[in-house]
Amino acid sequence: MPLTSSAVDAFGVVTLVLVILLCLVGVFCVAYVLYFRSKIRKEQLVALRDFNSLWIVRIILIVFAILWGLGELLRLPLLRREGWLLHSLSFQWQANMCRAYILISLGFLEPCYFLTALFLVHGSLRNAPFTPRKSWNGKVIGLILIFCLPVFLLQLFLVVISPSFEFRNGYNEKNEGYGKLPKYFTRTFEDMGSSQEEEHVAVCTYPLLSTLVLALFGCFYIIYFLYLGWRLFSLVINRRLQLRVYGLVLAVVFLLPVHVLFLGFSVLSRPSEPVFEAMGFMGFLTVLLCTTVGEGILVIRPIADALAVRWVFESAEKKRRHAIEEVSAEPLLVSLSSLSVFGTDRDDAALLARQSLLREAVSNVDRDSDPAMKEVSLVPMGNSRSYPERNGILISPPDSPALPGKPFVSHNLHSLV
């Protein structure tokens, strides 16, 4: 067998382990989203229900990441070794799996994942953050498929349709390629077997034309993602949210081009060689980092923050009991302030403002018959500027300034935070 390099096997084993971890993390994220949804429905938290209205899109993001990881297993030379899963397949079936890998991974799963992340970020910029958006889930799914369709059709033509015309009279050679172009432009696999027919092995490659299609998609995607990131960053005042926006934008803008470069440079070496496998592994690793950052910022952190501050959205009766306990027990106030992702335990001004607001809530909650959520603004003490009141609680307009030197939450940020 030609696939005997220990370095090639090492890359294959590490890839296999990372794919298993990716699937486990994805299952945990799906369970976390469903747990958050069940908690909202059980406790009847109306505002958080609207906040979580894009839960289907979040699950789709995770599913695309899991499927992409499983698709990466199709290209591993390790699985074509004797005793592994793909070794028993014929050469033709192994070649077809390489074509399917290029078509599914580069033509569908990777573009769909990045487009899903894009629409989740775009949802954070809507003008009405706490309005029901059940119908928007279907629109997002449809838009993802529509924008992914051109990439998929181009890859389908390059990988499946065009070779069927080129070799309609049968294969002239085991390695794919067109007469007027070098083979590495169109080749999806290479025969690494010996002269005996039963020992032929098809090792997957990255055709340069398919990589160029992905690069073209990446150019348009990065331009629009930078535009959304700039809009999002201009609305964020809170430092923690700024770091999240920075991390998400940098992960996409840096890792996606690097991924394309690794796939492009892989044509300079022969398949199943350590250099080729290193290029393929680094290309896999860049997308894996993107999926990890995307799931952390767009799925896990927003839900964790919402669970930490869900007391804001409780019903009137629960809020009354909670406020009484907070006023009567100072340690509880300190622990509550630490739950907020918009401040720190040393934020004395915010802590004093919370104490004042909670005392006012206790004195006015018996007269309050409206269980709807109240928007609370932390205004600096001694500020002479007048603000409207609702049931004794200060209400800030959407464009009100933040505390000097203190973080402030934009009303438009609801999906990312």
Tell me which H or E stretch contains 204. strand 202-204
Q: What sign for the dihedral angle of Cα 352, 357, 361, 364?
A: positive
Residues 183 and 322 in one domain: no
15 near 76, Cβ under 8 Å? yes
Asked which of 289, 307, 325 is the last residue of a domain, the reply is 307
Most confident of 178-187, 291-300, 328-337: 291-300
End-to-end CA distance of the chain: 53
Residues 204 and 226 in one domain: yes
Asked which of 257, 275, 307 is the last residue of a domain, the reply is 307
- CA distances, 108 to each of 11, 76, 154, 398 (Å): 24, 19, 11, 40
**Is 118 within the bounds of a domain?**
yes
416 near 245, Cβ under 8 Å? yes
Residue 269: the pLDDT is: 87
Percent of the chain with pLDDT over 90: 33
Residues 14 and 130 in one domain: yes
Q: Write the pLDDT tens digit of every residue in 367-417.
A: 454 444 443 333 334 444 444 444 444 444 544 544 444 444 444 444 444
Residue 272: the pLDDT is: 73
Q: Residue 311: is its pLDDT beyond 80?
A: no
Residue 332: the pLDDT is: 37
Q: How confident is the model at residue 271 (pLDDT cuts 50, 70, 90)?
A: confident
**Is 401 within the bounds of a domain?**
no
pLDDT averaged over the chain? 73
Residues 357 and 218 in one domain: no
Residues 340 and 292 in one domain: no
**Is 407 within the bounds of a domain?**
no
- CA distances, 186 to each of 199, 202, 206, 259 (Å): 24, 15, 8, 19
Most confident of 235-239, 257-261, 325-329: 257-261
Residues 132 and 160 in one domain: yes
233: nearest Cα among 245, 250, 248, 225: 245
Q: Residue 180: is its pLDDT beyond 60?
A: yes
Residues 205 and 262 in one domain: yes
Instruction: Tell me the mean pLDDT in the region 165-182.
Output: 54
User: Is the model more confident about 148 or about 271?
Assistant: 148
Residues 140 and 229 in one domain: yes
Asked which of 263, 289, 307 is the last residue of a domain, the reply is 307
Q: Write the pLDDT tens digit of every residue in 111-153.
A: 999 999 999 888 777 655 444 455 677 888 899 999 999 999 9
Residues 245 and 193 in one domain: yes
**Is 412 within the bounds of a domain?**
no
**Is 413 within the bounds of a domain?**
no
Q: Domains in the chain: how many in total?
A: 2
Q: Are strands 189-191 and 393-394 parallel, antiparallel or unpaired?
A: unpaired
CA–CA distance, 105 with 146 (Å, rounded to integer): 17
Indicate which CATH number applies to the domain containing 267. 1.20.1070
Which domain covers residue 285, as residue numbers? 6-307
Residues 287 and 365 in one domain: no
**Is 400 within the bounds of a domain?**
no
Q: How confident is the model at residue 187 (pLDDT cuts 50, 70, 90)?
A: confident
CA–CA distance, 62 with 27 (Å, rounded to integer): 8
Percent of the chain with pLDDT over 70: 62
Q: Write the pLDDT tens digit of every residue in 29-87.
A: 999 999 988 887 887 766 666 667 788 899 999 999 999 999 999 988 888 877 777 77
Q: Residue 261 has which token pair?
A: 């470069």
CB proximity list for 173: less than 8 A, separation 6 or greater: none
**Is 276 within the bounds of a domain?**
yes
Residues 286 and 356 in one domain: no
**φ, ψ dihedrals at 207, nearest 5°:** -65, 135
Residue 195: the pLDDT is: 53
Residues 281 and 158 in one domain: yes
Residue 405: the pLDDT is: 45
**Is 417 within the bounds of a domain?**
no
Instruction: Tell me the mean pLDDT in the region 266-283.
Output: 88
